[in-house]
Amino acid sequence: SAVISQKPSRDICQRGTSLTIQCQVDSQVTMMFWYRQQPGQSLTLIATANQGSEATYESGFVIDKFPISRPNLTFSTLTVSNMSPEDSSIYLCSVQTSGYNEQFFGPGTRLTVL
Amino acid sequence: GENVEQHPSTLSVQEGDSAVIKCTYSDSASNYFPWYKQELGKGPQLIIDIRSNVGEKKDQRIAVTLNKTAKHFSLHITETQPEDSAVYFCAASTNFGNEKLTFGTGTRLTIIP
């Protein structure tokens, strides 16, 4: 497995602003992903963060709203742009440490938009 | 794309009894099926997984079974304890270079002391 940290752990933001969430892993990983978990709901994949290239977004998510960076094999950021109350969710990063599918999740960032 | 259904949405069992959570998937190409436990205020924790080349896997009080023909898999927890109370998610993915997980809707398990 891997030790994954996220910053911030929680935040309360005003609508129209943007928040950047950081995900740091204690070892190099092959894949990094960003998920959204709306209150009381399941996890939905936002995008795959690709090292050195543009992220791969899932249907319903766009780069202008959720820009992602992955400058190296241990770090990624997700920005939630021009926030509205509907963006209030838990945002989770996950990593895959090998070619064998296992994904491990960070503790999450709990975002409330007022 | 893949669709994963999970039942029941809530489950209450007496401490010491067994709990079973079931999931079905739609994509016959899926070959990896993990289960996650999410406690309040925490990220999901991988507790067990199974690949399509086996029918059952066990780890202490937790077991997972897979029926590829019927496209369903189940989580079994025996001798339940209060610390087993959490939300459990099943998921499915393929191993064809795009290992993204499709999650079930979750089961809130409550162990009654």
**Helices and strands counted in chain B (H then E):** 0, 11
Q: Which residue of B has its CA nearest to A91?
A: B43
Contact across the interface for A106 and B99, Cβ inside 8 Å: no
Residue B94's pLDDT is 81
Q: Which residue did the predictor score with more confidence, B2 or B14?
A: B14
Read off the pLDDT of residues B12-37 as tens digits, 9 standing for 90 and up: 999 999 999 999 999 998 999 999 99
Q: Which of B59, B44, B48, B43 has its CA nearest to residue B23?
A: B48
> Residue B98: which pLDDT band, with cuts at 50, 70 and 90?
low
Q: Is the pLDDT of residue B102 over 60?
A: yes
Q: Which of B9, B7, B3, B2 has its CA nearest to residue B110?
A: B9
First vs last C-alpha separation in chain B = 41
B52: three-class secondary structure by DSSP: coil
Residue A36's pLDDT is 97
Residue A96 with chain B: CB contacts under 8 Å: 99
Residues 6+ apart with CB under 8 A from B84: B19, B77, B109, B111
Distance from CA of A101 to the nearest CA of B (A): 6
Q: Is the pLDDT of residue B97 over 60?
A: no
Read off the pLDDT of residues A17-65 as tens digits, 9 standing for 90 and up: 999 999 999 998 888 999 999 999 999 999 999 888 889 999 999 999 9
Residue B53's pLDDT is 82
Q: Which residue of B has its CA nearest to A30?
A: B99
d(CA B53, CA B68): 9
Q: What is the mean pLDDT of chain A?
A: 94
Q: Which residue did the predictor score with more confidence, B6 or B2?
A: B6
Distance from CA of B38 to the nearest CA of A (A): 10
The answer to whether A97 and A27 have CB atoms below 8 angstroms apart is yes
